[in-house]
Structure formats: C-alpha cells, structure tokens
Structure 1
Amino acid sequence: MKVCTRCIYDERVASITFDDQGVCNYCKQIDDLKIQYNTGEKKGEEELMSIVDRIKEDGKGKKYDCVIGVSGGTDSSYMVYLALKWGLRPLAVHYDNTWNSAIATENIRKVLGKLKVDLYTHVTDNKEADDIFKSFLYASVAEIEASTDLALAETMYRAAAKYNLKYVLEGHSFVTEGITPVGRNYFDGKYIKSIHNMFGKRKIKTYPLMTFAKFMKWTLFKRIKKIRPFWYLDYNKQQAREFLEKEYGWTYYGGHHLENRMTAFFHSYYMPEKFNTDFRNNTLSALVRNGEMKREEALRLYSEPPHLENELLAYFKKRLELSEEEFTRIMNLPTKSWKEYPTYKKRFERLRPLFFILAKKNLVPMSFYLKYCFPSK
C-alpha cells in the first residue's frame, strides 16, 4: 500500500495523490495554509491580534464580545483561557447531545468556574438525539456523529445572534489535527434531515438543525465571523494540556475526540470495524509533520487497534436499546456512502466563488471551502 513519505496518509484516504517524491497532496495543503495564515510567525500573531482588537471594538457596550464552543477537550478549554488572556469577554457555548463523559462535563465546570466565564448550553432531548443516531446506523453510512458536529455550529450561531455578537472563536488547529478529507466524513443539514426522514421514528423538535437557509442567514445576513486563532499561532497541544492540568485540575480523557461517548464509539469501534477507517491518522500525521513524533513510531501506533473504553459497547447497545442480534445485523449491513443520499454538496460546489469570498472574510471556515466546495472523487 502506498503511504506518504512525509506523513502516514495512505492510498485509502479520499482524493489522495502523491508527487514524484511520494508526498501527498494533504501535506502540501497544510504547507499552503501555513503560508496563507503565516502560522507560527510574528506576522501571523500580528494578524490575529488585529482581529482581537476588532472583536473588542465591536463588543463595546455588550455583556460579551464573542462566543467560544466548548467540549471539555484540550483545544476548546485552552481557547477560553487565551481569549481571557487577550482581554476578550467570551461566552462559552456547549451543545449537549446527552452522551458527554463525566470527565468532559467536569472539565467544562472546572475551567469555566475558575475563569468565571458564563456558559450557554443547548441540550437536545435524549430520545430525539438517540433517534437521529440510530437513523444513521440503519442508513449504514459512516457519519453517525454528523448531527453533533452540525448542531454545535448551529448552537454557536444561535448564541451569537441572541447576544448580537459577530465573532465565534473555534479551537481548531490544522497544524495539530490536519483537515480531515471528505471521504467518509461528510455532513450538512439536508443530509441529516434526509437520513432521519427515511430511518427515524421521532419528530425533530429540540435538535438544532442547520438548514441551508439558516447557514446563509448566519453568514450572509447576520455576518457572524468564525475565527480559528490556532491557525495563526504556534500552538502546541501537549503544552496546552499540561497547562490545563496544572492550572485548573483539568483531566485528560485518553485520546483525541474521546471526551464524548458517542464520539468515542465512532472513532474507537464503528469506523475501524465497519468501514476499515481509522481517523487517528489525522493526529498522528500532524505529529509527524511537526517533528513531534518519528514516522516509524506513528506507523507502529497506527497499526495497533484503537483504544476501546471498557464497557463502551455495552453502554452503547443499552442506551440505544439494541439487542446483540440487532447490533450485529447493523454492523453487517452493506456499507453506503453519503453520496447515495440527498445533500447540499452540489449546491456548495455551484456556489464555490461565493464561499471563497466568505472564507477570505472569515464568514465561513477556510476548511469548509476546501472540503465542501470542490467535486469529490
């Protein structure tokens, strides 16, 4: 199997290509973004501080000047600390799909409590959330976590609009995480609604669905900007984690994206077992690119099975009321792709020039433009 000579992405990754030196196109994408955002350089920091000044100016006279999505994970927790360090007055925003681990909930409480930051939370009815999750299982597609990712984005927009705020800060770093290729990792409001209409049993009442119209409302009309400060900074996740542990009693939850039990099931079991896909290659590849891990070590770790939390499978089956027979049947269903269900993807592609402008103005993330606005192979 062909593997990138610089990271550990291999030929199973969607839309991957290799140059004459065997370096993949995703490594080059990271290089291009570093140049575009002056990541880790003085100019990048200056650009970010200029944005911070604009946030302060726009927030004068308001209780808050920005919102920050929090999950209890490393990046979002550290993002709250940095915002206060820069003199911002953030409102922390959390979407609760009712699958949070106790560690994540405690991390949010510890960090926000000590920093005295207010929390805005949207909690979806647990039966409704589970019905959406089950509908994706029955559809036999990969993106069983899609509803959570989109709901967090919608919840942050709603919170920003409620308090008349124009800035959303997100704790994402393409340097430490990469940008996950759109292969088995797609989501939009039409996709979620169509899957749920086909396989769900409950009406959507409490779930914050982001339709295309709402997406345009937040970006074009409300003009709420999404800023990812780590794209400009020399951000080190390990140092951030150690700082949080020391200052706030924050607790590590065992791995990237494992702070939520549904997300843990998705990464640790569902994707590797049903789709032969292991998203640890994103973080491991980033560590190799950054010189924080030897390529051989990353390949060794990647060859080992993902960590599976004790009792996670039992909890998953009980929570979703799946018998052993039904769970086995679901896992053995022929796999399907998001391309087999209705989505907004073609519309995003047709509107690529518009989304390029919006991305340059920070009205949509640049990663959205790069992932969603080009035809997928």
Structure 2
Amino acid sequence: MARINSDLSNVEFQVCSRCIYDERVDGISFDGNGVCSYCHRQDELMEYYGTGQSKGENKFDRIVEEIKRHGQGRRYDCVVGVSGGTDSSYMLHLAKERGLRPLAVHYDNTWNTAVSTQNIRKMLAALDVDLYTHVIDNKEADDIFRAFFLAGVPEIEASTDLALAEVMYRAAAKWGIRYALEGHSFVTEGITPLGSNYFDGKYIAAIHARYGSRPMKTYPLMTFSRFLWWAVVRRVQRVRPYWYIHYSKEGAMELLKEKYGWEYYGGHHLENRMTAFAHNVYLPGKFNVDFRNNTLAALARQGKLSREEAWDRYNAPRNTEAGLVSYFCKRLGFSEDEFEAIMRAPSRSWTEFPTYKKRFEHLRPLFAFLLRRGLVPHSFYLKYCFSEGSR
C-alpha cells in the first residue's frame, strides 16, 4: 500500500475531523463538521448499549445473572471463544471474575503462533477452565486458504471466522449452554465496512468448489439452515460484554501479563500466522486495504492518541514477520513467480460469487426479531441485512 503524506494538513482527500477514517473507506460519508458516519454509528451504539456507563454496566450485570440462572445444575453456563489474543484472553478473566463457569472454545486452523498457543494454555491452567477445540485437517485448511488466494478476493480468513462461530454453537449445544460470550469491542475495533470483509457459508463453499481440490470433510461449515437452527431452535444467545462495559485493551494487556504471564504477540491480530499474512501482506499489497486504521481511529476517538499521532502510525511501516511470505508460499504450494502474479492480478469482490446476502436482506424482519432477543449480533444485522445505501 502506498504511503500517504503523514502531515494531516496536507492530505489531498477528506479525512474525518474526529478520527482518521478517510474518503477511501467503503460506505463513508461526512457531516457538515467533517465527522464521518462511522463515528456517528459508534456514538449511536454506545447510547443504545450504554457502553461504559452505569446503564451498560447494569445491563451486563442482569445478563450475568440470567446466565447463572439458566446454567444452574449444568457443568458450564457459557462458552467463550479463545485465540490467545488480548480480547478473548481477557474475556476468560472477566467471565471467571463475574462468577461464571465458562467452557473455552477454540477453532484451530493449524496456523497458530507458538505465543498464542502458550497464551491459551496459561489462561486455562490459571483459571481452571476446560477447553473444547476443533482441529481441522491441515491439508484441508490449506486448500481452503489456497482457494481464496486463487480467487483473488480479500476475505482469505473468512473460513476461520465463520468456523469459530460454528464450533462455539456446537459446543454450546453439546453441553446445553444458552450463552456464548464474544470478545469484540466496537469501541476498540469498530465495525468493518461491508465492502471490505463479507463472508457467509455459501460464499466459502462457492469459492472452495471453484478453486479448491480437496473435499471439505473436517471443516465446520455454517450453512444458512444451520445458522437459523442455532439461533431459532437452539436459541444460543451471543453476548458481547465489551459492548456494555468499559473495556481498555491496553489495561487488559497489562493485567494479563502481570496476573497470568500472558505474552504480547507483536501487533493487532498477529496471534495467527494466516491473520498476520492477511493484515500485513495480502490486504495492503493486493487491495490497498490497511485495517490498522480501525484500531488507530478508535484510539483517536477515545482521545488516547491525537489524530496526528494516529495518522502518523497508520502511515508507518508494518511489523511483518521475517519469512512470512516464504512460509505462506511453501505451505500452500506457490512458487515465488506464481505468488507475485496472483498479487498483481486484478482483484475480485464477494459480489461476483454466490452468497446468502439477498436472503439475509429479504428476511430482515426475522433478523430484527432475533436481534431484539439477543439471538443475532447487532453488527450482523447492520452489515448483512441491508442493501448498500438503505440504512
């Protein structure tokens, strides 16, 4: 991705006057004061959930009591997805601190770093938490990643994100658990624009059918019918505590280090080598997309960084692991020339492949109903159930 003038006063395109999102971000608009639509969306969500206020804390307290009530007599009362990263590790700490009995759930796409694996082990041992893990066959995982790379679409990690959700549902069903706690914070991460990162089960299956070579036998694919089954029949509620309470990623990291010997892995979303490749090599190199602006814009909104400092960091070189591209090519069977040719080839969009998007939009009233009952996340409803420009 080409570097931009780091002096905000000399940038040749519009940048939000409150954060550092600029006019290149999908779906962005600006008000008369130059504040972007994503800042306004965050404000609306903070008001709705009472994020970091007594209203939000009280809402979460009530959710915790309901989790405990429903979990009486059961071995576990909630599931928590874990990756070894900051957000999910702190979620385990928070669950135990609030008196919950979580079952940790992990989807192993076989690209974990040693640091992330050790972080999971340390957290589970210190908190006496059991682990339910699903390990995909490594050749099958690589075949799916290879298919997405050959397709030339940005969502190379879609299979991991959707699989974790499916595995969490499966674990919840196996132990009769009603609640799944997720470590996402729109305050620290924002809501990714639709055009940058869309995925669903039909999309993953379509990409793999066209470009893959191995059958998907161990991959936990979430189809549309399975999604509705988990939400409507099993009624597993997905709760995002950080949407209600005050959450500081920096404070969480310090607590995890001091209390559990947890280790930092070098950067946002770098606890997995495929994630590191996607964020540091693939997305900026092929699509001119740099998701560091999500976190840095959030820090600017919170006043933890000045806009100038956030913009400067956004335009600084990335922290990329030495040999990461070579590792990617070796695992997925690409020569250096093949890799470069694919990186230079025209990019493609999820809109060119079969998806459930129109079905989600058509059934928006159903998903609005499920949203009000906590059975689908607010971010899913906003991102998947509206056509562009209809919000």
- Shorter chain as denominator, the TM-score bin is over 0.9
Partner SS state of residue 92, structure 1: strand
Cα distance, 1:303 vs structure 2 = 1.1
2:119 corresponds to 1:107: yes
For 2:175, give the aligned amino acid.
Y
Counterpart CA distance in 1 for 2:370 and 2:40 is 23
For 1:57, give the aligned amino acid.
R
Match of 2:8 in 1: none
Cα distance, 1:73 vs structure 2 = 0.4
Counterpart CA distance in 2 for 1:210 and 1:12 is 32
Cα distance, 1:376 vs structure 2 = 2.5
Alpha carbons 1:75, 1:171 under 8 Å: kept: yes
Q: Within 5 Å, which residues of 2 pair with 1:182-331?
A: 182-331=194-343
Cα distance, 1:326 vs structure 2 = 1.1
Counterpart CA distance in 1 for 2:251 and 2:52 is 15
- After TM superposition, the structure 1 stretch with the greater mean CA deviation from structure 2, 325-334 or 58-67, is 325-334
Cα distance, 1:11 vs structure 2 = 1.1
Match of 1:16 among 15, 28, 38: 28
Cα distance, 1:332 vs structure 2 = 1.5
Alpha carbons 1:360, 1:366 under 8 Å: kept: no
Counterpart CA distance in 1 for 2:46 and 2:328 is 40
Counterpart CA distance in 2 for 1:374 and 1:24 is 20
CA offsets, 1:79-101, max 9 Å, x none? Answer: 00110111100000000000000
- After TM superposition, the structure 1 stretch with the greater mean CA deviation from structure 2, 319-328 or 292-301, is 319-328
Partner SS state of residue 257, structure 1: coil
Match of 1:53 in 2: 65
Runs of 4+ in 1 over 6 A off after TM superposition: none
Partner SS state of residue 196, structure 2: coil
Partner SS state of residue 191, structure 1: helix
Cα distance, 1:184 vs structure 2 = 2.1
2:379 corresponds to 1:367: yes
For 2:66, give the aligned amino acid.
R
Alignment TM-score, normalising by the size of structure 2: 0.95
Counterpart CA distance in 2 for 1:195 and 1:12 is 27
For 2:240, give the aligned amino acid.
R
Structure 1 unaligned regions, length at least 5: none
Match of 1:154 in 2: 166
Match of 2:100 among 61, 76, 88: 88
Alignment TM-score, normalising by the size of structure 1: 0.99
Counterpart CA distance in 1 for 2:368 and 2:314 is 35
Cα distance, 1:8 vs structure 2 = 0.7
Counterpart CA distance in 1 for 2:89 and 2:154 is 28
- After TM superposition, the structure 1 stretch with the greater mean CA deviation from structure 2, 308-317 or 198-207, is 308-317
Counterpart CA distance in 1 for 2:296 and 2:370 is 31
Structure 2 unaligned regions, length at least 5: 1-12
Cα distance, 1:305 vs structure 2 = 2.6
Partner SS state of residue 31, structure 2: coil
Counterpart CA distance in 2 for 1:175 and 1:84 is 23
For 2:22, give the aligned amino acid.
D
Counterpart CA distance in 2 for 1:164 and 1:334 is 47
Match of 1:119 among 131, 150, 168: 131
2:364 corresponds to 1:355: no
Counterpart CA distance in 1 for 2:317 and 2:139 is 31
Match of 2:183 in 1: 171
CA offsets, 1:173-196, max 9 Å, x none? Answer: 111111111112011000000000
Partner SS state of residue 183, structure 1: helix
Give the alignment's Cα RMSD to 1 decimal: 0.8
Cα distance, 1:67 vs structure 2 = 0.1
Counterpart CA distance in 2 for 1:256 and 1:82 is 20
Corresponding pairs, count: 377
For 1:358, give the aligned amino acid.
L
Counterpart CA distance in 2 for 1:188 and 1:214 is 12
For 1:207, give the aligned amino acid.
Y
Alpha carbons 1:168, 1:226 under 8 Å: kept: yes
